[in-house]
Amino acid sequence: MSSSLANSGHFAGRSLSDLASDLRRRRTTAVDLVRHALDAITRLDPVVNAFVTVAADESLTAARQADRELTDGVDRGPLHGIPVAVKDLIMVAGRPVSMGSRHYAGHVAGTDAACVRLLREAGAIVVGQTTTHEFAYGPTGDRSANGPSRNPYDPARMTGGSSGGSAAAVAAGMVPLAVGTDTGGSVRIPAALCGIAGFKPAYGVIPTDGVFPLSATLDHVGLLAASAHDCRIAYRALLPERTPPVGRAPRVGRLDTRPLFPVDARVLHSARTALESSMGKDVLRIPPGVAEELREAFIAIQSGEAAAVHADRLAERPDLFDPEVLERLRSAATVPAWKYVWALRARPRLADAVDALFERHDVLTLPTVPLTAPLIDQRNTRLDDRQVRVRDALLALTSPWNVLGLPALTIPAGTVDGLPTGLQLICRTGQEELLFETAALTVGEPHVH
C-alpha cells in the first residue's frame, strides 16, 4: 500500500462541520478551499483520474461570491463555500458533459440539473465533473472515454462504478463531497470500494431532471462523502424539508446475504464488526424466491430502459461505444418486453415481501459489496469457492434496493488486506434519518450529532 493516495488531499480528515466552522471563524475562505481542491486535483488526479473537467476560474469566481456573502451575513448553511464534484452525466450549465462516452465528446450542457440548482442554492461550489463508467452502464468504473478512474487505495485497482470518479475524488481528499447517480449501486459500490460513505435517499427524493438517464425507473441521485455524518449534513442542507428528526433509537437487524450472493468471509466479518456488538443481533432473511425475482426484475428493467435510451446510438454509431459497453447494450436489447412488463408488475409484490422484513426492525444491514476492489479490467473472480463475474458480484447486494426504491447508505467498515470494505444500511422509504442514526452508532463513525 505504499502507493496509496487515499486521504492525500487537503480534505482528508476534514469533516464538513470542521470546514463550515473554519469558514465562519474566518480561519479559511471559500477561495482557499477551492484552491486546495484545485491543488489536490492537480497533484493527485494524474494518477487517480477522478476528474474529466475542472472549472478553475468559474469556481474561484463562485468562491469569491460565497465569501462576500458570508462577509455580508448571508449564510446559506453548511455547504456554503464548500467545493463539490459532480458526476460527468449531471448537467452544469455551460460546462462540458460527456457521460463518459465518445458519443458526447465536446458536448456542453445547456442548463443546470435540478441537483446542481440545489447545490448552488445551498452555496456549494461545483469545482468539476468526475469520471463515470460510459453512460453509467457498469459497476466497475473502468470503461470510460476518460479512461478508468483509479482506486486511491491502490491505483492498480478499480474504483468501482459507475460513479467511480466521485468516490475517488472524495477518497483521495480532493473534495469533501461529491454527487453521483445510483441505478443498481453506482453510488454505494464505488463508495465502499474506495472507503468512504455513499447515500441514496428513496427513489425520486433528489430529482433526476438534468441527469442523463440510464434506467429511469431505477435511477437515483446520491451523495458521497468521507462519512455518513457528512452525507447527512449535505442531505439536510440540500433538502431540509425531507429530514424530520426521528426521536428514537433504531432497531437494527442483520440481513443474511446467502440468498443474494456469496460474500468473501473476511468482508463479511469486517461488516459485522463495524456494527457495535449490541446491534444487529437478529438475522433476517429474504426468501430465496424473492431474492431471485429481485435480481431478474433488476436486469429486465435496467436492460429494457437502458437499451431504449441508446437504441438510436446502437443503430447509427455503435463504433463510438466502448466495446464492452456496446456488448452489454446489445445484450440488453434482446431482453423481451414481457419480462419488463412482468418486472414492473412484480415490483409491488416484491416490495411487500421486503417490507415484511421491516416489521420489527428499522434498519437492515449487510455488506455493500461482497469483495474488495478488484484489479482494473478484472472480470472474473472466486467468491466462497465459486467462480463469479465481477460485475454480478459488485451489483448483487445493492441492486435489490433500487428495484424497490429504498433508501440505502454505505459506510466504511474497515479494511481487508489494506483495501476498504463497506457496511450497507437499508430502511423504509421516508425513514432516511434512521440510516444516519444507525451509522452514528457504528464503530467507524465520528460520534457527533
Helix (H, G, I), strand (E, B) or coil at 412: strand
- Please list every residue from 211 through 270 that binds a second copy, using CB under 8 A: none
Q: Strands (DSSP E) along 362-418, which ranges?
A: 363-367, 380-383, 386-389, 408-416
Query: Which one of the listed residues 162, 166, 215, 303 is annotated catalytic?
Result: 162
Cα–chain-centroid distance for residue 27? 31
* Residue 14 C-beta: closest distance to a second copy, Å: 44
Q: Is 277 a catalytic residue?
A: no
Q: Applying CB under 8 A, does 308 fall inside the site for a second copy?
A: yes
Which of 335, 363, 393, 425 is in the footprint of a second copy by CB under 8 A?
A: 335
Query: Which one of the listed residues 59, 186, 215, 270 is annotated catalytic?
Result: 186
Q: Is 186 a catalytic residue?
A: yes
Q: Is the peptide bond before 15 cis (omega within 30 degrees of 0)?
A: no
Assign 3-class secondary structure to 216-271.
CCCCEEEEEECCHHHHHHHHHHHCHHHCCCCCCCCCEEEECCCCCCCCCHHHHHHH
Nearer to a second copy, 252 or 343 (CB): 343
Q: Is 303 a catalytic residue?
A: no
Q: Which stretch binds a second copy (CB under 8 A): 98-106, 187-195, 257-265, 327-335?
A: 327-335
Q: Which stretch binds a second copy (CB under 8 A): 40-48, 131-139, 189-197, 331-339?
A: 331-339
Q: Which stretch binds a second copy (CB under 8 A): 91-99, 150-158, 230-238, 338-346?
A: 338-346
- Please list every residue from 342 through 371 that binds a second copy, using CB under 8 A: 342, 345
Q: How many residues bind a second copy (CB under 8 A)?
A: 20
* Residue 318 C-beta: closest distance to a second copy, Å: 14
Q: Applying CB under 8 A, does 300 fall inside the site for a second copy?
A: yes
Q: How far is CA 207 from CA 78, 183, 237, 239, 257, in A?
A: 21, 14, 15, 11, 31
Which of 2, 241, 319, 338 is in the footprint of a second copy by CB under 8 A?
A: 338
Distance (Å, whole) CA 120 – CA 123: 5
Task: Please answer whether residues 10 and 37 qualify as being in contact, where contact means their C-beta atoms are separated by less than 8 angstroms.
Answer: yes
Nearer to a second copy, 82 or 290 (CB): 290
Query: Which one of the listed residues 59, 87, 149, 303 is annotated catalytic?
Result: 87
Query: What's the first-to-final CA gap in the chain, in angstroms?
Result: 33
Distance (Å, whole) CA 79 – CA 377: 36
Q: How many CB atoms lie within 10 A of CB 319?
A: 8
| Residues near a second copy, by CB under 8 A | 300, 303-308, 311, 332-342, 345
